[in-house]
Copies of this chain bind each other. A is one copy, B any other.
């Protein structure tokens, strides 16, 4: 026995020595070439062996499968497939928004904090997937209580299709995961540049695993108390209608935006960030190309977000209307933000324009199904103004939100939710797997419907906003109390990318001397030329480090 072990040890030593020799030889090009030739020869031999075996053993053919006569299908047999295809394609587009968020956030931040942005976007996406699989989906979309669901943990016990939608259960799961991921990513936007990575992991568990799915259940869960509000025997029966949020102005964007606000408040501003009242202003974005393209990719993904929320292609007029309304609100908001910001900045500002159309997209997300194209233009145009004002208010409050997550998602999410109470056109009711049911249309204040819808929207928005903000503040303070929410001052000065991730995003590029900490030198029209941002080639230029 001992001998056997001894032999084995010997054998393993011999193998180890062989391996070491092999390694040595591998590092010698001549041997390496020889080795690979040998290896390829052996592999070829094996291939011929198998080929030979095949030629001997096979009779070539009989691979024809008899086809059963195809069963006769009715139109109804196509409904679930087509609605599932629609939901899945929409889910893919919503997932694709991650590329857009990553670009938008990375482009709008300083280069020194870019890798951190990239990591947070990737890791939030991964973490959110596992959490939503484990319990997030169960909390949000399982039945159980008016406050949270209690079935489908780890996707156990799932039926073939979700609820009465007829959509494949796992297609619906994927669609909703993509939404949850969006909410989670929005949060990180206002916390760029100073959040420690462990802190990010911890608060992300809180957001993706608890805040979003539980609060979301209230509005979108099968028995959520805001979803059933206003009917007999449910929450506030006197309101007369339930809370409506077609694709998530509140559920996704307000939640994401207000968690972001809580995070930005608890963190405080980045080192070196001077506010307007201190003679400063927002730090400069480091790559406007990346940011703007990211904005376009988000817009592209929104075509999954809003039209996909019908979960039904059979409501084909509905998906067309939602897609067009989404577009028109974005167009109007982009232009209104640009024109409204012009007198303030005296330039045609690209950041405001991009955040403008994003604000329009956030705003139309709630009412997209129930308003007319003209209503969409109006409510979008208002969103474009609101986002510019909200950026100023944050500046005034000395809150550092590097990409404008709070104005775009937090504030315009509220506006969009309320706007339904004003602009619901009185023509459209509910979508469904076989088509629209417009027998009980929603009508807003401006279309003669009185205050009913507006009241329900205000109640829902207020409950969700206030709860989210309170719980998020508690969460952020708790993570902060552990000492991991904010990176050390030393780490922040060094650059969070180097400190947390060991590498800058663009190791090869030489940076302009004014590039820190405000993100770039001051550019005032007339006093600056891009020609100046340039490196002199001269021998007198020696001390490249700050000493």
* A152-196 near B? 1/0 per residue, CB < 8 Å: 001100001100100111111110010000000000000000000
Give the interface centre of A114, A500, A507, A545 by most chain B CB atoms within 10 Å.
A507
> In the complex, A121 Cα to B103 Cα: how many Å?
17
State whether the Cβ of A5 lies closer than 8 Å to any Cβ in chain B: no
Q: In the assembled complex, how far is the CB of residue A452 from the closest CB belonging to chain B, in whole angstroms?
A: 18
> Are B78 and A289 closer than 8 Å at their CB atoms?
no
> Are A155 and B373 closer than 8 Å at their CB atoms?
yes
Q: In the assembled complex, how far is the CB of residue A430 from the closest CB belonging to chain B, in whole angstroms?
A: 11
With A72-B76, A532-B546 in contact, do A168 and B316 touch (Cβ < 8 Å)? Answer: yes
> Are B539 and A538 closer than 8 Å at their CB atoms?
no
> Are A43 and B466 closer than 8 Å at their CB atoms?
yes
Q: In the assembled complex, how far is the CB of residue A371 from the closest CB belonging to chain B, in whole angstroms?
A: 12
Chain B residues whose C-beta falls within 8 Å of the C-beta of A524 in the assembled complex: 502
Q: Could you tell me which residues of chain A, from 83 to 134, have a CB within 8 Å of some CB in chain B?
A: 84-86, 88-89, 91-93, 95-96, 98-99, 102-103, 106-107, 110-112, 114-115, 118-119, 121-123, 125-130, 133
Chain B residues whose C-beta falls within 8 Å of the C-beta of A324 in the assembled complex: 155, 170-171, 173-174, 177
Chain B residues whose C-beta falls within 8 Å of the C-beta of A307 in the assembled complex: 88
Q: In the assembled complex, how far is the CB of residue A241 from the closest CB belonging to chain B, in whole angstroms?
A: 15
Chain B residues whose C-beta falls within 8 Å of the C-beta of A272 in the assembled complex: 546
8 Å CB contact of A537 from B85, B539, B544 = B544
Chain B residues whose C-beta falls within 8 Å of the C-beta of A328 in the assembled complex: 129-130, 133
Q: Could you tell me which residues of chain A, from 359 to 375, have a CB within 8 Å of some CB in chain B?
A: 373-374
State whether the Cβ of A3 lies closer than 8 Å to any Cβ in chain B: no
For A504, the closest partner residue in chain B by CB is B530
State whether the Cβ of A4 lies closer than 8 Å to any Cβ in chain B: no
* A306-348 near B? 1/0 per residue, CB < 8 Å: 0100000110110111011001101110110010000001111
Chain B residues whose C-beta falls within 8 Å of the C-beta of A107 in the assembled complex: 289
Chain B residues whose C-beta falls within 8 Å of the C-beta of A74 in the assembled complex: 72-75
Q: In the assembled complex, how far is the CB of residue A408 from the closest CB belonging to chain B, in whole angstroms?
A: 15
8 Å CB contact of A544 from B75, B505, B535 = B535
Chain B residues whose C-beta falls within 8 Å of the C-beta of A27 in the assembled complex: 277, 398
> In the complex, A122 Cα to B294 Cα: how many Å?
12
> In the complex, A133 Cα to B327 Cα: how many Å?
10
With A73-B76, A512-B535 in contact, do A493 and B357 touch (Cβ < 8 Å)? Answer: no
Chain B residues whose C-beta falls within 8 Å of the C-beta of A397 in the assembled complex: 23, 26
Chain B residues whose C-beta falls within 8 Å of the C-beta of A23 in the assembled complex: 396-397
> Are A494 and B434 closer than 8 Å at their CB atoms?
no
Say which one of A10-18, A231-239, A244-252, A440-448 lies at the interface with B: A231-239
> Are A237 and B57 closer than 8 Å at their CB atoms?
yes
8 Å CB contact of A498 from B67, B173, B293, B529 = B529
Q: Could you tell me which residues of chain A, from 234 to 277, have a CB within 8 Å of some CB in chain B?
A: 234-237, 265-266, 268, 271-272, 277
A-B pairs with the 9 shortest C-beta distances?
A507-B520, A73-B75, A168-B320, A129-B331, A171-B320, A495-B530, A347-B502, A43-B470, A508-B515
| 29 pairs, A vs B, C-beta closer than 8 Å | A37-B473, A43-B466, A43-B467, A44-B470, A47-B463, A70-B76, A75-B78, A78-B78, A81-B316, A89-B89, A92-B93, A106-B292, A118-B292, A122-B334, A127-B331, A133-B373, A133-B377, A167-B320, A170-B323, A170-B324, A174-B320, A288-B503, A502-B523, A507-B515, A508-B519, A513-B537, A538-B542, A539-B539, A539-B542
Known A53-B235, A112-B530, A512-B534; 17 more pairs at CB < 8 Å: A26-B397, A27-B398, A58-B233, A60-B145, A63-B234, A71-B434, A122-B353, A122-B354, A130-B332, A133-B373, A171-B319, A171-B324, A290-B293, A495-B529, A498-B529, A508-B512, A536-B544
